[in-house]
Amino acid sequence: MVGHSFMGAVHSHAWRSAHRFFDLPMVPHLAVLGGRDLGRTKAAAAKFGWASVQTDWRELVNSPDVQVVDICTPGDSHCEIALAALAAGKHVLCEKPLANNVAEAEQMAAAAKEAAGRGVRSMVAFNYRRVPAIAYARKLIEDGRIGTVRHVRAVYLQDWLSDEQAPMTWRLRKDKAGSGALGDLGAHIVDATQFLVGDLLTGVTAVTNTFVNQRPAEDGGVDDVTVDDAALFLGRFANGAVASYEATRFALGRKNGMRVEINGSRGSLAFDFESMNELSFFDGADGDASGFRRILVTEPTHPYVGAWWPPGHLLGYEHTFTHEVVDFVRAIADGVDPAPSFADGLQVQRVLEAVEHSATEGSKWTDVPGGQA
Amino acid sequence: MVGHSFMGAVHSHAWRSAHRFFDLPMVPHLAVLGGRDLGRTKAAAAKFGWASVQTDWRELVNSPDVQVVDICTPGDSHCEIALAALAAGKHVLCEKPLANNVAEAEQMAAAAKEAAGRGVRSMVAFNYRRVPAIAYARKLIEDGRIGTVRHVRAVYLQDWLSDEQAPMTWRLRKDKAGSGALGDLGAHIVDATQFLVGDLLTGVTAVTNTFVNQRPAEDGGVDDVTVDDAALFLGRFANGAVASYEATRFALGRKNGMRVEINGSRGSLAFDFESMNELSFFDGADGDASGFRRILVTEPTHPYVGAWWPPGHLLGYEHTFTHEVVDFVRAIADGVDPAPSFADGLQVQRVLEAVEHSATEGSKWTDVPGGQA
Amino acid sequence: MVGHSFMGAVHSHAWRSAHRFFDLPMVPHLAVLGGRDLGRTKAAAAKFGWASVQTDWRELVNSPDVQVVDICTPGDSHCEIALAALAAGKHVLCEKPLANNVAEAEQMAAAAKEAAGRGVRSMVAFNYRRVPAIAYARKLIEDGRIGTVRHVRAVYLQDWLSDEQAPMTWRLRKDKAGSGALGDLGAHIVDATQFLVGDLLTGVTAVTNTFVNQRPAEDGGVDDVTVDDAALFLGRFANGAVASYEATRFALGRKNGMRVEINGSRGSLAFDFESMNELSFFDGADGDASGFRRILVTEPTHPYVGAWWPPGHLLGYEHTFTHEVVDFVRAIADGVDPAPSFADGLQVQRVLEAVEHSATEGSKWTDVPGGQA
Amino acid sequence: MVGHSFMGAVHSHAWRSAHRFFDLPMVPHLAVLGGRDLGRTKAAAAKFGWASVQTDWRELVNSPDVQVVDICTPGDSHCEIALAALAAGKHVLCEKPLANNVAEAEQMAAAAKEAAGRGVRSMVAFNYRRVPAIAYARKLIEDGRIGTVRHVRAVYLQDWLSDEQAPMTWRLRKDKAGSGALGDLGAHIVDATQFLVGDLLTGVTAVTNTFVNQRPAEDGGVDDVTVDDAALFLGRFANGAVASYEATRFALGRKNGMRVEINGSRGSLAFDFESMNELSFFDGADGDASGFRRILVTEPTHPYVGAWWPPGHLLGYEHTFTHEVVDFVRAIADGVDPAPSFADGLQVQRVLEAVEHSATEGSKWTDVPGGQA
């Protein structure tokens, strides 16, 4: 694994825990943790349970001890590391967004496709697909329980930048992060909704905004914020559904409000990550007694849940990563390509780019390449 | 009052009931009910408590028994009736949207301005301003409790057209209704959010959609739907806030989901008409113990509530009209102009027109005239 | 109508409004308002729309202008007025609780039974049966949708006495009110749950408490509180269900939290008066996709709702009284006995007395006479 | 650790994970797993990560490799194992309820007290005290944020026995489990509420019920259910608060509905384990803008949360056990007695016994020994 901050901690826990709850064909071994600073990487390795450390990620991806490379670094290094790892024949799990721009994502998707021919697997870590409630929602849609999808509305609301004095971070630098709320939060809701609907966005119109242009720097001065604080966009799906999206870090009081609502011709679904064990489902067939059902997605028959606790005993954020590891390891063992693929990651990147393009071009309608297919 | 269907019923109740709960300077007398069909109008007058009927609205607006004209007809007749009534020196309460297009709304606003000079009052019936929770939200914003507004997100979700076999109605004909979900539902959320924020939209980008293009006609054939089924738009407020709007009649399971969420620099507010006695308020000053407060807006100190029942005893939809009558009658008695004025109604109409323009021009950014002022 | 404070206001509105929305066989005429103080009664009559006033309730109940007597006075006068009215051949609607003790209630039930033989009708005003959501819940239970009832839990939580300095009122005097939270709030949940379950309580064990024993009197001194501030009791239904009840005026933050939850062998129901337009229904037959459905009880097919507004347009507290008037007037016209009858009111009174008895006898189990039948 | 079913799985995860997130003075080593069946115990040890197995718990508790004994067996063996472990100088963590009856619990509390004198620590695993929301609620109460507690209402609602054909288990046998819903679920809410209030129950009145007296046995026949399916009781706290409790496995649709609501003189709190990351708090000082605050207890300043994820990223059921391990290990290292102690467990057992006594004695009021102190 390369990278050991927030994502590193949660990925490590997943790698450590997956086989404790799920029957895996192979037991993951936490071999090498990569990081630039030797001291901090060693401390992280001890804390997270990695056997060794490596400050040169090129050594890491070429190490004979390593069969899988998990990329948890900022977006600007994803492409380089992933290409090297795939070339070295290592399976790759890469954090989202896949890359900081479409050009990089295209290279990665091409490399992944080539590698797959050699039996080398790759997956982009859109972990929200592995929230049981979202996986179950997908199943309900696949089963036709809501009919034809007509409306999608998704927001991802956080508030950690609401304070104008919140300090500068790499997440607010375009060169490091690619974009702001758009790539960090918007990418999640674009992927999740396309996954849920089982269809792609064909075009968008967008507005982005930066509310606070300068923030306190580490050195006591100020740094320029070079990304969006909020991104709002409307879109159309290939099947005719219309969609609304909003990603922001300025929605005071919303801590992790990733909410999706989908209306179909026969039913509707609603989800809020702040209540991630619940799915709201309206079944148009319920007649007089119809109403949104608050389904506690904690039954053994629900996706992933059987491996955990009895009904009503909640799962948390980290479980989505454990599920990701489970599915990834099983795909490797089964010799099949896991989803979401790097191609899926590329398509999300194309949506993000279309959003940015529309926002800078007077909100004009912007097609998403490939979405029309 | 001209018109006696849904709006006629609820307006009549308001005119009958206002002085039973509020101290009014004048007791309304339900003098003349206007309608095209004599028999049906007589029946409605008996049911609703009107003293007489009139099938010619010109006679009604010129009747010496009439001091106030309440216009509850479809949008295509608002302009004509309002102009005549104002010319005849009658105070006018006009249902929303003010008119079916900007040209008509401009005439009406001009006439209202002229009439005001003669002491003749006019008001457009955006009754949602008189929901106690919304009036109270406005007060909290005015008092600075949420600081500078950064985000507005508003939806108005209904589902009565979700069934493809739902029959044709005048509301689906552009010549009668002006637009579809946009004018019927979108007008409400545009007015309510501008009222709440205390600021105007300066421009928009929009997408509209008609999901079902033909519907069963009364004669057994089919009729063309000539309005939008759904309208989605993004906007910017003069103060720098960004906003998202959606109006639809295809959100299955949402019966009257007029929801507004506003995030400011110090707090946030959320409202859902399906729980219209509640206001959610996040106060950034609450520290560790912060969370959205579910305020039951039923305290005697809350707007309008003192006239009704003890705390926790809910009010309903119709009360918003009673409050409207109260404020209108008091404004007439006090010799002041009530709000929202016809000029306010015109401004909303300009937003709606900008939305339609953007939607037909590839979603391109469209300024709202006057919003920049 | 005798009495013109809180209940008088809401009953008057119901009598004025019922025929405006429902087809009634007879149009109520608000003939005479009774009250002890002539000036205040005249003011109330003018405000509420009554044609005349009367300070002697005996004159009122014997007036030839009066066919129906509506008793809205404190509980200590219910018996006397009702007996006189029934003797005079007037139909009687009596506020709850029916009386301040079982002895009075027995007299009233006997008189009502005798009067029914003469075609004179009587009803006790447990208006919560006429909340559409509760009436609909009863229908679901009758239809077998939740199977055999096993659990009932009901609370009625208010907080207006939470402040120790809240002033003395007649509601805190045993001679006037009979009991405190028990008779005022507990009576509602006893009636509502027995109505919903379609079965009677056979016995109870109880705890009551008075948190604040003295309160500021009008004269500047202090008065003794002689009733319970809170009453908690457990019970058993004849069908084997177990039940829990709590009534209090000290639940800070709960304004009108009359909540009922019923669990059956096939489904469950939950209701909260603070969201009175909603009913939660769990259908055990929903399989994997089961969850409490939030039914917005505002559809035209739901009880009483067809007379009012479109789906999602909420009703309020006062509508329950309008529905009461509708059912009462129709029963009179149809020559049938309305429910809940005085006998039903007596049975509730017996439950309340058993609660008081248990509470004073070390919580020992106390049978409710008649419940075993 | 002795025992390796549901509790064994979750405890193992806690022992494995605690030091990965929290700074612990000692890193737990999973030395020996005890179980009666060698094959199944070996399988569990492999799955859960234990170094060795032992089928004789006496060997286990005396093993020099073992410093801490974690008892996860059914209640009938707690006493014997705990006494032996304490005698052998091992720190003991014991699952709840502490024992199957007061006599055993008294022995255990005495042994724990004696052992504490030798520096040997013991704790009963009421893990719900370590739900961040509950720990935070305790803090708010300690800080005086809700004033004097007047009302406690707690329910623990599950539904896994609602189906009459659900099979027999050891949990339904009095000799194994001690009691049914009472000891399994009731014990949790008794401990949690006493912990929250910071005070003890002085007496109770109770009703218990067994809805289904026979269930399918493993051998194809039927077995007698010898415990309660539901237990309801009312109680009084030493400080004058009144309380209501209900524990049931027949509340269809409620999966893990452990709910607590506490009303004080200055504020109120409400919690539901089905939304375990949330705490509702009503602050009486909020004035006009008061309402229950939905606090997402996921801020770094909230108890235990700083070790985990960013705000709004939820924790789950298992985290409560991790927190338990953290506190237990720290107490051992610090040489202090952890809470809840065996004496606390004994006191809960006395409440349970008082409930059973009252239920069998016509619900008569039954004092809880020690509660008056």
Which structure tokens are listed for C229?
A: 């501030």
Determine the Cα–Cα distance for residues B357 and A363; give it in Å rounded to an integer. Answer: 13
Q: Is A318 on the interface with D (CB under 8 A)?
A: yes
Residue B293: list chain D partners with CB under 8 A.
Answer: 286, 289-294
Query: Residue C233: is its pLDDT beyond 70?
Result: yes
D228 at interface of C, judged by CB pairs closer than 8 A: no
The verdict on a CB contact (< 8 Å) between D299 and B288 is yes
Half-sphere exposure in the Cβ direction for C181 (13 Å, CA): 29
What digits encode the pLDDT tens for the residues C155-177?
Answer: 999 999 999 999 999 999 999 99
B345 contact A CB<8A: no
At B336-347, the pLDDT tens digits run 999 999 999 999
Ordered by where they begin, the domains of chain B are 6-127 (3.40.50.720), 129-366 (3.30.360.10)
Looking at chain A, which residue has its C-alpha nearest residue C301? Answer: A288
In this model, does residue C371 exceed pLDDT 80?
no
Pick the residue of C143, C288, C299 with the most A CBs within 10 A to test the interface with A by mutation: C288
Q: What is the mean pLDDT of residues C72-85?
A: 95
Cis peptide leading into residue D97 (ω within 30°): yes
Q: Do A234 and B284 touch (CB under 8 A)?
A: no
d(CA C160, CA D15): 49
D48 touches chain A (CB under 8 A): yes
Average pLDDT, integer, range B244-271: 98
User: Is there a contact between B168 and B174 (Cβ–Cβ < 8 Å)?
Assistant: no
Tens of pLDDT, residues C1-42 = 999 988 999 999 999 999 999 999 999 999 999 999 999 999
Does D344 have pLDDT greater than 60? yes
D287-326 pLDDT, tens digit per residue, is 999 999 999 999 999 999 999 999 999 999 999 999 999 9
Does pLDDT of A76 surpass 90? yes
Task: Please report which confidence band the pLDDT of residue D371 belongs to, taking 50, 70 and 90 as the band edges.
Answer: low
User: Is the confidence at residue C211, as pLDDT, over 80?
Assistant: yes
Suggest the residue from B288, B290, B299, B305 to mutate for an interface test with chain D (most D CBs closer than 10 A): B288
The distance of B365 to chain C (nearest Cα, Å) reads: 34
D309/A317 Cβ within 8 A: yes
For an interface test with A, the pick among D134, D249, D277 (most A C-beta atoms closer than 10 Å) comes out as D277
| pLDDT at B5 exceeding the cut of 90 | no
Chain A residue with the nearest C-alpha to that of C303: A288
Instruction: Write down the pLDDT at residue A371.
Output: 60
Q: How confident is the model at residue B371 (pLDDT cuts 50, 70, 90)?
A: low
| Beta carbons of C263 and D250 less than 8 Å apart | yes
With a pLDDT cut of 70, the percent of chain A lying above it is: 99
Q: Average pLDDT, stretch D123-129? A: 97
Of C246, C254, C266, the CB nearest to D244: C246
Mean pLDDT of A17-40: 96
pLDDT-derived band of residue B370, with 50, 70 and 90 as boundaries?
confident
| Cβ-contact A279, A137 below 8 angstroms | yes
| Tens of pLDDT, residues A181-238 | 999 999 999 999 999 999 999 999 999 999 999 999 989 999 999 999 999 999 999 9
pLDDT, position B234: 98
d(CA B99, CA B6): 18
β-pair type (D242-248, D257-264): unpaired
Identity of the residue in B48, B158, B273 whose CB atom sits nearest the CB atom of C20: B48
**pLDDT tens digits, one per residue of B127-186:** 999 999 999 999 999 999 999 999 999 999 999 999 999 999 999 999 999 999 999 999
Model confidence at B373: pLDDT above 50: no
| pLDDT bucket at D194, cuts 50 / 70 / 90 | very high
CB-facing half-sphere around the CA of B221: CA atoms within 13 A: 3
Residue A373 banded pLDDT, cuts 50, 70, 90:
very low
Interface of D with C in 280-299 (CB under 8 A): 282, 284, 290-292
ipTM of predicted complex: 0.96
* Range B215-232 average pLDDT: 95
Each residue of A160-194: pLDDT tens digit? 999 999 999 999 999 999 999 999 999 999 999 99
Please report how many Cα atoms fall inside a 13 Å half-sphere around the Cα of residue A258, on the Cβ side. 27
pLDDT surpasses 80 at B372 = no
Residue-wise pLDDT for A349-367, tens only, equals: 999 999 999 999 999 999 9
Query: Nearest CA to CA, how far is C261 from chain A (Å)?
Result: 16
Q: Which chain A residue has its CA at the smallest distance from C296's CA?
A: A291
Which residue of A317, A319, A323 is the best one to mutate when testing the D interface, meaning the one whose CB has the most D CBs within 10 A?
Answer: A317
How far away is chain A from the Cα of B46, in angstroms, using its nearest Cα? 32
User: How confident is the model at residue A223, as a pLDDT?
Assistant: 95
Q: Which residues of C touch B276 (CB under 8 A)?
A: 314
Question: Minimal Cα–Cα distance from A5 to chain C, Å?
Answer: 38
Q: Count interface pairs A-B at CB distance under 8 A.
A: 134
Closest Cβ–Cβ partner in C49, C273, C312 for B20:
C49
Mean model confidence pLDDT for chain B: 96
Nearest Cα to Cα of residue B179 among B231, B222, B218, B244 = B231
Across chain A, what does the average pLDDT equal?
A: 96
SS (H, E, C) chain A: CECCCHHHHHHHHHHHHHHHHCCCCCCCCCCEEECCCHHHHHHHHHHHCCCEEECCHHHHHHCCCCCEEEECCCHHHHHHHHHHHHHCCCEEEECCCCCCCHHHHHHHHHHHHHHHHCCCCEEECCHHHHCHHHHHHHHHHHCCCCCCEEEEEEEEECCCCCCCCCCCCHHHCHHHHCCCHHHHHHHHHHHHHHHHHCCCEEEEEEEEECCCCEEECCCCCEEECCCCCEEEEEEEECCCCEEEEEEECCCCCCCCEEEEEEEECCEEEEEEHHHCCEEEEEEHHHHHHCCEEEEECCCCCCCCHHHCCCCCCCCCCCHHHHHHHHHHHHHHHHCCCCCCCHHHHHHHHHHHHHHHHHHHCCCCCEECCCCCC
B255: closest chain A residue by CA = A291
Q: Quickly state the pLDDT bin for C339 (edges 50, 70, 90).
A: very high
C372 pLDDT more than 60: no
Task: Check B254 against C316: CB less than 8 A apart.
Answer: no
Provide, as residue numbers in chain D, all residues whose Cβ is less than 8 Å from the Cβ of C287.
none
pLDDT tens-place string over residues D238-287: 999 999 999 999 999 999 999 999 999 999 999 999 999 999 999 999 99
Interface chains of chain D (3 or more CB pairs under 8 Å): A, B, C
pLDDT of residue D373: 45
Strand (E) or helix (H) holding B58: helix B57-62
Q: What local confidence, expressed as pLDDT, does residue A161 receive?
A: 97
Convert chain C into a string of H (helix), E (strand) and C (coil).
CECCCHHHHHHHHHHHHHHHHCCCCCCCCCCEEECCCHHHHHHHHHHHCCCEEECCHHHHHHCCCCCEEEECCCHHHHHHHHHHHHHCCCEEEECCCCCCCHHHHHHHHHHHHHHHHCCCCEEECCHHHHCHHHHHHHHHHHCCCCCCEEEEEEEEECCCCCCCCCCCCHHHCHHHHCCCHHHHHHHHHHHHHHHHHCCCEEEEEEEEECCCCEEECCCCCEEECCCCCEEEEEEEECCCCEEEEEEECCCCCCCCEEEEEEEECCEEEEEEHHHCCEEEEEEHHHHHHCCEEEEECCCCCCCCHHHCCCCCCCCCCCHHHHHHHHHHHHHHHHCCCCCCCHHHHHHHHHHHHHHHHHHHCCCCCEECCCCCC
Q: Which residues of D touch B278 (CB under 8 A)?
A: 291
Contact criterion met (CB < 8 Å) for C315 and B317: yes
Of B283, B291, B295, the CB nearest to D296: B291
Hey, of A155, A263, A272, which one would you mutate to test binding to chain B, going by the most B CBs within 10 A of its CB? Answer: A263
pLDDT band at D5 (very low <50, low <70, confident <90, very high): confident
Closest among A153, A79, A89, A141 to A120, alpha carbons compared: A89
Return the higher-pLDDT residue of A370 and B123.
B123
User: What is the average per-residue pLDDT within A335-339?
Assistant: 97
**How confident is the model over C150-155, as a mean pLDDT?**
98
Per-residue pLDDT of D213-243, as tens digits, reads: 999 998 999 999 999 999 999 999 999 999 9
Residue A5 has a pLDDT of 87
pLDDT classification of A77: cutoffs 50, 70, 90 = very high
Question: Quick check: C164 and D282 CB within 8 A?
Answer: no
With a pLDDT cut of 90, the percent of chain A lying above it is 97
Residue B155's DSSP bridge partners are B246, B259
Question: C-alpha dihedral over C212, C214, C216, C218, to 10 degrees?
Answer: 130
Sign of CA dihedral B301, B303, B308, B311: negative
Portion of chain C with pLDDT greater than 70, in percent? 99
The whole-number pLDDT of residue C235 equals 98
Mean pLDDT in chain D? 96
